[in-house]
Amino acid sequence: MARVAGLHRIALRVPNLDAVADFYKNLWGMEPVKSGGDERQFKSRGVADPDLVFRSGGKQGLEYVALGVKSAADLDAIVASVEKAGHKGSIVERSNREVSVRDPDGNLVKLVVAPKAGAAQKLEEPVTGPRKIGHVVLWTPQRETMEKFYALFGLGVSDRTARGMSFMRCNADHHSVAFVDSDGRTGLQHIAFDVGTLDGVMRQKARLAEGGVECIWGLGRHGPGNNLFTYYLDPAKNCVEFYGELEQIPDASVPAEPRYWGPEHKGDRWGLAGPPPSSFTGQPH
């Protein structure tokens, strides 16, 4: 079965474009690619193409998630799976190299022919800023339906939790897309950026602290994915994560049996980070 290869790009609408752009350039450590008008494009250090876009105007929040596909033939095969499953009406725009689809929650998903999607260049440490965007997590009131829809793109479930999360993978990374239960909210829960190792996570944490950016959760180690984590809020209040040492599942074409993490799992296997803050859970404590 054809499948997407990984995240290619995420685009967000923000009310304070200049402040957000300054944060991602000077504090988050990304490379500016395009600056002008109502758009700013940024690139992680280990990838070839812009993987984060901000635009002003319109409704604040997620504009689209772009998933990379290795070839035009794979793109055609994925679109055929979507249509065969009865979602032909979800396809809103189509060309030879890119297809735009609305998922069951109404999120815009772009399927883009991008042969290097999901991979990142190996960088010598220390590195300022992320290697790549590794995964995106979306709020959903219909997690099972979203799982089934994204399976049409070739994603398989790695883990589920009693907290109400599903982690889905399309390459060796434990997850590239995940979903978390909500009482009706949809859209972005957080974006996660790969910095490789514990040293990478801690260097970024120290650098952000020096720049006056509070770590709202972490350092800790998640259960699903086994990755180290620290979380922050950008100037538009988007939740963003620096992570390292994510579990690798080498053969994504042979789905492993999904694991289940019960209510005893609180998000941090070490027990050091404490409970996640309300800005992460969307719920008051």
Instruction: Enter the DSSP assignment of 275.
Output: S
Overall number of domains in the chain: 1
Q: What is residue 285's predicted lDDT score, i.e. its pLDDT?
A: 35
Cβ contacts of 266 within 8 Å, gap of 6 or more: 275
pLDDT at 2: 84
What local confidence, expressed as pLDDT, does residue 206 receive? Answer: 96
Judge whether 124 lies within some domain.
no
Can you list the positions of beta strands (E) in 182-271? 187-194, 217-221, 228-233, 239-244, 259-261
- The Cα–Cα gap between 31 and 44 comes to 6
In a domain, 122, yes or no: no
Give me the pLDDT at residue 252, please.
64
CB neighbour burial string for 57-95, b if at least 16 within 10 angstroms, e if fewer = eeebebbebbbbbbeeebbeebbebbeeeebeebeeeee
Q: Is 126 domain-assigned?
A: no
Domain assignment present for residue 285? The answer is no
> Is 123 part of a structural domain of the chain?
no
Q: What is the pLDDT of residue 254?
A: 67
Q: What digits encode the pLDDT tens for the residues 211-220?
A: 999 999 999 9
248 in a structural domain: yes
- Which mean pLDDT values do the consecutive 10-residue runs of the chain (285 residues) have? 92 97 97 90 94 94 97 95 95 93 98 83 77 97 98 96 96 96 96 95 96 97 97 97 95 78 93 88 58
- CATH number reported for the structural domain that contains residue 272 in this entry: 3.10.180.10
Domain that holds residue 247: 6-115+132-280
| Mean model confidence pLDDT for the chain | 93
Q: Give per-residue pLDDT as tens, 33-76.
A: 988 889 999 999 999 999 999 999 888 999 999 999 999 999 99
Is 188 within the bounds of a domain?
yes
Instruction: Assess if residue 226 is contained within a domain.
Output: yes
